[in-house]
Amino acid sequence: MSIRTRFDKQLASLNDALIEMGGMVEQAIADANRALIGRDTALAEKAIAMDDEIDHMEKEIEGLCLRIIMQQQPVAGDLRLVSSVLKITTDLERIGDHAADISEITLRTSDKPYVAKPEEYFPQMAAATAKMVSESIDAFVKKDLKLARGVIAHDETVNALFKKVKKALLELINQNADDSDQAIDLIMIAKYFERIGDHATNIAEWVIFSLTGMHKDIQVM
């Protein structure tokens, strides 16, 4: 087996692992949202437990990247690709953290009636951010610049949803200060979804870097 053939097989394994991690993160987002809407404590605990699996997957991918760097000593485009994967997995891991954060709030508030209907606020944010994560990973695997740029543009939609939810919940606080604690928790959930969108945007930016060497903060390799 030639060195290049071995390298290509390692890159294929890296793609597969990244797809698997992306799928786990998408599932964590979906579970966190469903647990929140349905006050499902078992599902919330599942989303929290998923964070450990995502952390483990991050370490596996990091190990594979380091082995590739040490064994193959990639340069130029190949090095950009492997370096980008290291960055992407960090953002995926943080998305898993935020899904767990949402579920922890769900558990903490599970014994109290909601002061606002979460189904009016969060399903759209959850769907939008999960779509961003999915498409950012697809953009990496397919080497699709247009798709990556579309993910970045979609972050404005998530930001607008966050502002809308925040405004509605702040109005609720103004109307009844007794509801402020839980309303603040719900604002935090909206913020976690907004941060998930930010991390998906980061992933898309690293996809662009892997393909072009251009990044909003750096231009190397």
SS3 66: helix
- Per cent of the chain over pLDDT 70 is 96
- Per cent of the chain over pLDDT 90 is 70
Place of tokens 């607008």: 160
Handedness of CA 148, 152, 157, 161 (dihedral sign): positive
Structure tokens at 165: 């939810």
Three-state DSSP string of 15-54: HHHHHHHHHHHHHHHHHHHHHHHHCCHHHHHHHHHHHHHH
- Is 201 part of any domain? yes
- Is 77 part of any domain? yes
- Is 220 part of any domain? no
Instruction: Work out the average pLDDT over 196-208.
Output: 97
How many domains is the chain built from?
1
The residue that leads in pLDDT, 34 or 113, is 34
- Is 196 part of any domain? yes
- Is 217 part of any domain? no
- Is 219 part of any domain? no
Apex 217 CA angle, 187 and 125, nearest 5: 25
Mean pLDDT of the chain: 91
Please tell me the distance from the alpha carbon of residue 207 to that of residue 167, in angstroms, as a whole number: 33
Instruction: Work out the average pLDDT over 192-221.
Output: 87
Q: Is the per-residue pLDDT at 221 higher than 70? A: no
- Compute how many other C-beta atoms are within 10 angstroms of the C-beta atom of residue 190: 23
pLDDT digits over 113-131, tens only? 887 788 888 999 999 999 9
- Is 51 part of any domain? yes
The pLDDT, as a whole number, for residue 8 is 79
Compute φ and ψ for 110, nearest 5 degrees. -65, -20
pLDDT digits over 156-197, tens only? 999 999 999 999 999 888 888 777 888 899 999 999 999 999
* Domain containing residue 140: 3-212
Q: Is the per-residue pLDDT at 220 higher than 60? A: no
CATH number for the domain spanning 138: value is 1.20.58.220
Whole-model pTM: value is: 0.92
**Contact between residue 37 and residue 119 where contact means Cβ atoms under 8 Å apart:** yes
Q: Is the per-residue pLDDT at 154 higher than 60? A: yes
- Is 106 part of any domain? yes
The DSSP bridge partners found for residue 214 are: 219
Please tell me the distance from the alpha carbon of residue 35 to that of residue 173, in angstroms, as a whole number: 24
The pLDDT, as a whole number, for residue 3 is 63
The pLDDT, as a whole number, for residue 219 is 54
